[in-house]
Amino acid sequence: MSKESAMIITGGSSGIGRAKALAFGRHGAQVVIDNCNTSTGEGTVATIRSIGEHALFVLNRWNSNHGSALPDRHNHRDVWTP
């Protein structure tokens, strides 16, 4: 996986989503965590950043525009996973 690989993970702050986010981060991907819990989302981002990788938290409010707006903010993505 290259440093240019970008992963958007919905629900990436806990459970299986967090495990995926950490795994992608450990393999050098740029990880975007899309979740509705700021505290756990930022915690997962901090963990990924602590190993020297890039991660970003996006607060998900689940509105009708959310799904179309996220790709505009992160125009390059290799994987978008729930």
Residue where the block lists tokens 């495990």: 19
CATH number (domain holding residue 73): 3.40.50.720
Q: Phi and psi dihedrals of 76, rounded to 5? A: -115, 120
Domain hosting 10: range is 6-81
Question: What is the pLDDT at residue 64?
Answer: 47
pLDDT band at 19 (very low <50, low <70, confident <90, very high): very high
Query: What token pair was written down for 47?
Result: 């963990």
Total-model pTM: 0.75
The answer to whether residues 9 and 31 touch, using CB atoms and an 8 Å cutoff, is yes
The answer to whether residues 5 and 29 touch, using CB atoms and an 8 Å cutoff, is yes
Residue 56 counted as domain residue? yes
Residue 77 counted as domain residue? yes
Question: What is the pLDDT at residue 52?
Answer: 87
Residue 11 counted as domain residue? yes
**pLDDT tens per residue, range 23-69:** 999 999 889 898 888 999 999 999 999 998 889 888 876 554 544 44
How many independent structural domains does the chain possess?
Answer: 1
Residue 29 counted as domain residue? yes
Rounded Cα distance between 69 and 43, Å, is: 24
